[in-house]
Amino acid sequence: MPKIFVVGSYNTGLTIRVPRMPALGESLVGDSFDMGPGGKGSNQAIGAARLGADVRLLVCLGDDIFAENALRLYRREGIAIDLVHQLAGASSGIGFVNIVPSGENWITVDLGANLQMTPQHARDCAAEIGDCDILMTQLEIPIETAAAALRLGKESGATTILNPAPAQPVKREQLADVDILTPNASEARILLGLPPDDPSPPRDLAQRLLGLGVDCVVITLGGDGALIADGVGTTRIPAVSIQVVDVTGAGDSFNAALAVSLGEGLALQDAVQFAVRAGAYTALHLGVIDGLPTRADLKDLGRES
């Protein structure tokens, strides 16, 4: 059972389906409202636990009703809550998720308590991080905190994964302790300081990210699968063909499965194949938590690794 330490966010997702993206200033009627747990760190932790990993989660919540929901979720999913901080006077993170008929989304977040997670919060977990196989983090917490966690993971010999979402331009030194960087294509562009719709192909983006000193870049490409790039070359992993319902959380599911497979000792290419299947499973479901697969769920979706 791989040991995975996740340093990340919790947000409550307020989701509706909309017929299209609204124009600026327009009020648009949607439907299918759902309020459910989300946040990239929390989703990735639950995803990894469902796939059988021994997961520890460092996360900051507010002292509101949303935090109570999060604690209930962690108890139900068997995730220890000793590193779940409830910060007095803070609001828990909130995400507004709009889903268009193609299953694609756009998300806006107020990160609330997530932004109060400091590098010291991570350093206070040095012993637990020292015991993990994989250290995984994202950017819904301050980048200094993510960097501190990655440093602790690296120092202890863990494999470190940074899912750089939401993306922001990064400096070389902020990636110094990242073994595997897992942006989607638009995040890759933003990391490099390019416009999100820059036409550079993923292969070029990956090479430029490797140039920032990361050992390995895995770019998730939705319906086109994923691209792995490292010092040796690039490999394209094909997508699983599905009818997309909602892509929300598919990236989190991908990262969770990648971490679990690598923690189990799979080769990177096999781990990415498994992760692509996990992400596809999530995209078949409306909402995030219901779409995070167990291993049994993935048996019916292509080849079980």
Cα(161)–Cα(142) distance, integer angstroms: 16
Residue number, 51 or 288, with CB nearest to ligand RIB? 288
Residue number, 191 or 212, with CB nearest to ligand RIB? 191
Residue number, 212 or 284, with CB nearest to ligand RIB? 284
Q: Residue 7: helix, strand or coil by DSSP?
A: strand
Three-state DSSP string of 65-129: HHHHHHHHHHHHHCCCCCCEEECCCCCCEEEEEEECCCCCEEEEEECHHHHHCCHHHHHCCHHHH
Q: Residue 285: helix, strand or coil by DSSP?
A: coil
Residue number, 43 or 174, with CB nearest to ligand RIB? 43
Catalytic residue among 64, 252, 270, 290: 252
Count, residues near ligand RIB per rule CB under 6 A: 15
Query: Least separation, in Å, of the C-beta of 265 and ligand RIB?
Result: 27
Contact between residue 146 and residue 114 where contact means Cβ atoms under 8 Å apart:
no
Q: Which of residues 130-169 bind ligand RIB (CB under 6 A)?
A: 140
Query: Least separation, in Å, of the C-beta of 94 and ligand RIB?
Result: 8
Cα(261)–Cα(259) distance, integer angstroms: 6
Is 252 designated active site? yes
Looking at 39, 47, 112, 263, which residue binds ligand RIB (CB under 6 A)? 39
Structure token pair of residue 112? 């609330």
Query: Least separation, in Å, of the C-beta of 290 and ligand RIB?
Result: 12
Residues that bind ligand RIB (CB under 6 A): 11, 13, 38-40, 43, 95, 107, 109, 140, 248-249, 251-252, 288
